[in-house]
Amino acid sequence: MSAQAKKYSGQPLKRVEDPRLVKGIGTFTDDVRLPGLLHAAFVRSPHAHARVTGIDTQAAKAVKGVVAVLTGADVNEKCGVVPCAAAIPDLKLPKHTVLAGERVYFVGHPVVVVVATDAYAARDGADAVDVSYDPLPVVINPEEALKPGSPLTHPDLGTNIAFTHNVNGGGDIDEAFRKADRVIKQRVYHQRLTPMTIEPRAVVASYHAGEGTMTIWSATQVPHYLRTLLPGMIGVPENKLRIIAPEVGGGFGAKLNVYAEEALCGHLAMRLGAPVKWTESRRENATSTIHGRDQIGYYEVAVKNDGTILGLKARTVADLGSYCQLLTPAVPTLTGLVLTGCYRIPSIKMEIVGVYTHKMATDAYRGAGRPEATYLIERLMDLIAKELGLDRVDLRLKHFPAPTDFPFATACGVTYDSGNYQGALEKARQLADWKGLMSERAEARKSGRLFGVGVSTYVEICAIGPSAAMPAGGWEWGCVRVEFSGKVTAITGVSPHGQGQETSFAQIVADQLGVAIEDVVVMHGDTAVAHYGRDTYGSRATVLGGTALVMCTDKIVAKGKIFAAHLLKTTPDKVEFSGGTFSAPGAAKELTIGEIALEAYVAKNLPPGLEPGLEASSFFETPNFTFPFGTHIVAVEIDRETGRVDIKKYIAVDDCGPQINPLLVEGQVQGGIAHSIGQALFEQTVYDENGQLLTGEFMDYPIPRAIDIPEYILGHTVTPSPTNPLGVKGVGEAGTIGATPAVANAVIDALESLGVTHLDMPLTPERLWRVVNQRSVAGVGA
């Protein structure tokens, strides 16, 4: 990275994306209208498990405006199966076709697609399809699914176990448990969540029969993944397939996928010779877009009486739902990568059992595996402190590696890049007025109030990922072009969908090239423009995409120096570049990068051997993940009569390295904490015992609203990552990872006087009222 004065990086600039979004003139997939556009609607299974005994499409075909009514028998041979890219040895995969075959295995499973000249006719047609079902036995609970004699999610697989994955790391685990003074055990349930992006999924597919080219607009986080994987499904070669992710209204992992509907719309556009649109309804979004979490863990930790942790054993039952989407089985294995949190834990043993049940597939949801790990280790730290009568903060400090211990190799087999966990904890305690908060807690408890303080110190994995850790490349691509006019176009292979990189990447590029930020445009999300990319997920975009752009600007500056030397009649090594201007000692004049660009394109006075133009592209391969960290402290009070949790104070200190745009960082942290509060206190995807989804609408699935969010006190520390020239670490998931255990620990701390040491989430009023009430009835209460 060239040494440039940073005019824009570090500034809390407002998002350049916002004016068009606030005005309602952004283009989302559903806004795409093409001549002759047809509309698709799906008939979906009302059963969690059933044999399809008949499909009568006659009435549907007679509905005015209906163009086609197609079943699995019509399309499945022509469309490849929904891909799973997770590299798990011995993974048992059901063949998940784009429409159901002879069996449906979750409520919302698409059975028939109806295509019509407008969306109303398509829906009328779908209602007119008559599907006969013969219900089959259902299994919903993953632990029941493991029992002998359980109904099978897929009878042909002969088992509900998709895979068993073992992680053993560090020292001898058996010896650790032999040497232990005590073993503390806990079962922890990480409930199923629905991502509930405000924009549901949407697809428009358009096929040019003459050229044999296909353009697909999709509300996706991963246009490049689609371009890589859809050719195998629909038979359009990669170099004739263009994917456009226009404005995307939230993803959180739910749109990090390749869905049946995306392939099917492509196939229908070819088959019917007209463009086809499908926009998901909210209920379809709830039943048929991936869910998150749903892990049951049994944990045992071996400790000495002074609190020293010797080893950790875990058995996790991960509910995969009924089939595998792109990364379904990989998500629980991510839990295994960061199981030890920010602590020295010398040995671990983890067994992850992936189980099929008759529910929607789980997959990556904001944090994807790391929230589960963090929640678990942070709960365990509190349990250990409680059991041994130790201070929970001291216990955490005792196990932190020192800032000088980095790079720090963990028993989970990863190496943390950099860290100062003590610094973030101290800063959080300072912002929280820790002593004052603890006396407030003591005072409140004296008068019988249920007041609790929770702490979570977390580390997470970002910048996913090094290619070695990914099924198909973990690098990132970028291209920067200084145009004829001196304006700058930066093209990134990441696919922002709310993160704001049109702004933060412009800050990076403007600083690197010394140009005004208004002169930089950041383009993304169209594979015809951003030829290569690995898209946006896993808090990777700024680390990888930002660095790829820095590499491009470095190349541009190097080429600019050759031009400048030629024009200034000196040698490139004598040329300095600063503030957008090339200069050389003793030269008669200076040249701006714009002037150099003009010379480079006019090309009448080229340095010998140099190509015209001022453009560079780069791939960045990272040597490692990054490991952001932080401390969250939260104070809550529970209303004894109603069980309602009131968040009195919320402090978050996050260290994501240097911040390109602190306003964007704050937005990410705030949003992440909001997600966490939702998970800790009220969100849960609920299926009944028959596999009917009871939380299929916003009427029943509570997402956090402004009124649920306390005023945050946010701070940060800055520990650069050595993995990249920007030193950045990533922040998209930090809030979700750090906050859930802090809130849960606070609520459980508030119930300390009742002898409560653990409760599963969500910590709803009724759940808490029951705890308080039953204890009171038993005479244990305060």
Q: Does residue 702 bind other proteins (CB under 8 A)? A: yes
Q: Does residue 698 bind other proteins (CB under 8 A)? A: yes
Taking the alpha carbons of 45, 47, 50, 56 in that order, is the dihedral positive or negative? negative
Phi-psi region of 413 (alpha: psi -120 to 50; beta: other; left: phi over 0): left
Rule CB under 8 A: choose which of 25, 87, 694, 780 binds other proteins: 694
Closer of 121 and 236 to other proteins (Cβ): 121
Residues forming beta bridges with residue 637, ordered by sequence position = 451, 646
- In the bound complex, what is the minimum distance in angstroms from residue 755's beta carbon to other proteins? 22
Closer of 282 and 555 to other proteins (Cβ): 282
Residue 653 backbone phi and psi in degrees, to 5: -115, 115
Strand 309-321 relative to strand 292-303: parallel, antiparallel, unpaired? Answer: antiparallel
Question: In this structure, what DSSP letter does residue 526 have?
Answer: B
Range 264-303, binding other proteins (CB under 8 A): 281-283
Distance of alpha carbon 655 from alpha carbon 420, whole angstroms: 9
Closer of 193 and 425 to other proteins (Cβ): 193
Rule CB under 8 A: choose which of 278, 408, 537, 682 binds other proteins: 682
Q: Read off the tokens for 521.
A: 């445009």
Q: Does residue 701 bind other proteins (CB under 8 A)? A: yes
Taking the alpha carbons of 37, 195, 622, 247 in that order, is the dihedral positive or negative? positive
Name residue 469's amino acid.
A
Rule CB under 8 A: choose which of 60, 113, 119, 584 binds other proteins: 119
- Of 343-351, 369-377, 637-645, 724-732, the window that binds other proteins (rule: CB under 8 A) is 637-645
* 3-state class percentages of the chain: helix first, strand second, coil last, to nearest 5: 35, 25, 45
Residue with tokens 């232990």: 180
Q: Does residue 406 bind other proteins (CB under 8 A)? A: no
Nearest in space to 317 (alpha carbons), one of 563, 141, 86:
141
Q: Does residue 641 bind other proteins (CB under 8 A)? A: yes
Q: How many residues bind other proteins (CB under 8 A)?
A: 27
- In the bound complex, what is the minimum distance in angstroms from residue 12's beta carbon to other proteins? 29
Q: Which pairs with CB-CB distance under 8 Å and at least 24 residues apart come from 151-154?
A: 151/49, 153/49, 153/94, 153/105, 153/322, 153/356, 153/357, 153/358, 154/94, 154/105, 154/322, 154/356
Q: Does residue 695 bind other proteins (CB under 8 A)? A: yes
Structural element, H or E, at residue 714: strand 712-716
Closer of 5 and 707 to other proteins (Cβ): 707
Closer of 25 and 694 to other proteins (Cβ): 694
Residue with tokens 């163009």: 67
- In the bound complex, what is the minimum distance in angstroms from residue 681's beta carbon to other proteins? 9
Closer of 443 and 641 to other proteins (Cβ): 641
Name residue 563's amino acid.
F
Q: Does residue 127 bind other proteins (CB under 8 A)? A: yes
Site map 571..610 versus other proteins, x via CB under 8 A: ----------------------------------------
- Of 122-130, 214-222, 316-324, 567-575, the window that binds other proteins (rule: CB under 8 A) is 122-130
Give the DSSP per-residue string, 640-697: TTT--EEEEEEEEEEE-SS-S-HHHHHHHHHHHHHHHHHHHHT----B-TT--BS--S
Contact between 269 and 276 (Cβ < 8 Å):
yes
Rule CB under 8 A: choose which of 59, 686, 754, 782 binds other proteins: 686
Give the CA count within 13 Å in the CB-facing half-sphere of 507: 23
Range 745-774, binding other proteins (CB under 8 A): 765-766, 769-770, 773
SS3 304: coil
- In the bound complex, what is the minimum distance in angstroms from residue 27's beta carbon to other proteins? 21
Closer of 101 and 765 to other proteins (Cβ): 765
Contact between 103 and 87 (Cβ < 8 Å):
no
Residue with tokens 């079902």: 133
- In the bound complex, what is the minimum distance in angstroms from residue 702's beta carbon to other proteins? 4
Taking the alpha carbons of 375, 376, 379, 384 in that order, is the dihedral positive or negative? negative
- Of 118-126, 231-239, 622-630, 657-665, the window that binds other proteins (rule: CB under 8 A) is 118-126
Q: Does residue 78 bind other proteins (CB under 8 A)? A: no
Q: Read off the tokens for 372.
A: 């589960």
Rule CB under 8 A: choose which of 7, 61, 78, 123 binds other proteins: 123
Q: Does residue 120 bind other proteins (CB under 8 A)? A: yes
- In the bound complex, what is the minimum distance in angstroms from residue 764's beta carbon to other proteins? 8
- In the bound complex, what is the minimum distance in angstroms from residue 744's beta carbon to other proteins? 17
Closer of 390 and 686 to other proteins (Cβ): 686
- E strands of 542-659, at which residues? 576-578, 581-583, 591-592, 615-620, 629-638, 645-655
Closer of 74 and 639 to other proteins (Cβ): 639
**What's CA 171's distance to the chain center, in Å?**
32
Q: Does residue 658 bind other proteins (CB under 8 A)? A: no
- In the bound complex, what is the minimum distance in angstroms from residue 115's beta carbon to other proteins? 14
Residues forming beta bridges with residue 581, ordered by sequence position = 578, 592
Distance of alpha carbon 554 from alpha carbon 547, whole angstroms: 10
- Of 114-122, 141-149, 365-373, 609-617, the window that binds other proteins (rule: CB under 8 A) is 114-122
Rule CB under 8 A: choose which of 700, 755, 774, 778 binds other proteins: 700
Question: Binding residues for other proteins, per CB under 8 A?
Answer: 119-120, 122-124, 127, 281-283, 641-642, 644, 682, 686, 694-695, 698-703, 765-766, 769-770, 773
